[in-house]
Amino acid sequence: MIEVKDLTKRFAEQTAVDHVSFVVNKGEILGFLGPNGAGKTTTMRILTGFLPATSGSAQVAGFDVFNDSLEVRKRIGYLPENPPLYLDMTVTAYLEFVARIKNVPAEKRAALVEDALAKTNIVDKRHELIKRLSRGYKQRVGLAQALVHDPEIIILDEPTAGLDPKQIIEVRHLIKGLAGSHTIILSTHILPEVSMTCDRVVIINRGRIAAIDTPANLTTQLKGGQNVRLEVGADQNAVCAAIRELPGVRKVSGEPAGGNGRVVVTVEASPGQDVRSQIASKVVGKGWPLYELRGVSLSLEEIFLELTTEDSASPN
């Protein structure tokens, strides 16, 4: 388990991590999602003991990251943004070396190296020099070195960067398979990645947490209120004007529904407002036939943009 409280990191003129707090439960996969420069890597480097924080606290597997950094490092597998691979070593020799410096007892090393090779699907590259491997394969060796001592906690900084689509699917599979027995934090800018692999998501922007929730909850409830789509058998302008008058309605747009005299209207509600029943009453009260009315959730992508784009409250 990982517990971060009020973590702050200032570089000379910049606050890279700004009072960040979160908990990752045992066996859970937490995703860090945020634009470039959000503070994802900095947070991970603090958690793995590579960088001191300016203030705040972080506990990993019951140990304090600052006071017990050696204990913490033993229990963590870390895939940095740029894994420090020894290019002149073969894959197997490198993984054996990493297992040794991670204090894996000699008699267990060979089996754990085999396991890491198999999990990351690089068994057939085991005798290659790392410098001869393609970028995607180097990334897999990076993953293998994070896993080789079978750590309790795994921290992966953009684990799918540089991989081809097939490899991305394999790595997501691998990560999902590690959950349960391991506690995992990964970072990404790729939205589908968090909804596919993570139990919970931290959306981080300019060093601050903008939202933290399950992908499903973020997608269904967050921000901006519920959008509503309806199909009505009436004049587009009349329908839009009538809905626009309702309280809690922020934006209304309409388009003809395929030449049958109906109109499809999209309504954006103000945050926290559910305007569906009012819209239904209005339309029915006018005597217009109502063919469909349903709530539409924002996609994770829209939520992400809303939370991380400046001036997101602009009316149009």
Binding track over 177-196 against ligand ATP, x by CB under 6 A: ------------x-------
- Give whichever of 122 and 156 is closer to Mg ion, judged by the CB atom: 156
Neighbouring CB atoms inside 10 A of 169's CB total 13
Residue 189 in the binding site for Mg ion (CB under 5 A): no
Spell 245-279 as b/e; 16+ CB within 10 A means b.
Answer: ebebbbebebeebeeeebbbbebbbeeebebbebb
CB of 63 within 8 A of CB of 75? yes
The encoded tokens of residue 246 equal 């309702």
Q: Could you tell me which stretch among 10-18, 65-73, 130-138, 228-236 binds ligand ATP (CB under 6 A)?
A: 10-18
Closest CB to ligand ATP among residues 46, 234: 46
Say whether 197 sits in a helix, a strand or coil.
helix
Residues 6+ apart with CB under 8 A from 140: 120, 121, 122, 163, 167, 171
- Whether 207 and 16 have beta carbons less than 8 Å apart is answered as yes
Residue 38 one-letter amino acid: A
Of these, 41, 167, 221, 270, which contacts Mg ion (CB under 5 A)?
41
Q: Confirm or reject binding of residue 31 to ligand ATP (CB under 6 A).
A: no
Q: How far is the CB of 206 from ligand ATP (least distance, A)?
A: 8
Containing 230, the helix (H) or strand (E) segment is: strand 227-232
CB nearer to ligand ATP: pick between 32 and 94: 32
Which of 2, 4, 7, 16 touches ligand ATP by CB under 6 A? 16
Provide the minimum distance between the beta carbon of 173 and ligand ATP in the complex, in angstroms, as a whole number: 23
Distance (Å, whole) CA 295 – CA 108? 55
Q: Which stretch binds ligand ATP (CB under 6 A): 30-38, 163-171, 177-185, 233-241?
A: 30-38
The rounded distance, in Å, linking the Cα atoms of 304 and 72 is 32
Report whether 53 contacts 46 (CB < 8 A).
yes
Assess 139 for contact with ligand ATP (CB under 6 A): no
Q: Does 190 bind Mg ion (CB under 5 A)?
A: no
Which helix or strand (DSSP H or E) is residue 154 part of? strand 153-157
Measured from the CB of residue 187, what is the shortest distance to Mg ion in angstroms?
Answer: 6
Q: Which stretch binds ligand ATP (CB under 6 A): 34-42, 171-179, 232-240, 297-305?
A: 34-42
Q: Which is nearer to ligand ATP, 16 or 265 (CB)?
A: 16
What is the b/e burial string over 281-309, where b = at least 16 CB atoms within 10 angstroms of the residue's CB?
A: ebbeeeebebeebeeeebebebbbebbbe
Residue 56 partner contact from ligand ATP, Mg ion, none using kind-dependent CB cut-offs of 5 to 8 Å: none
The reply to whether 202 sits near ligand ATP by the rule CB under 6 A is no
11 belongs to the binding site for ligand ATP (CB under 6 A): yes
Using CB under 6 A, list all residues that contact ligand ATP.
11, 14, 16, 34, 36-42, 189
Using CB under 5 A, list all residues that contact Mg ion.
40-41
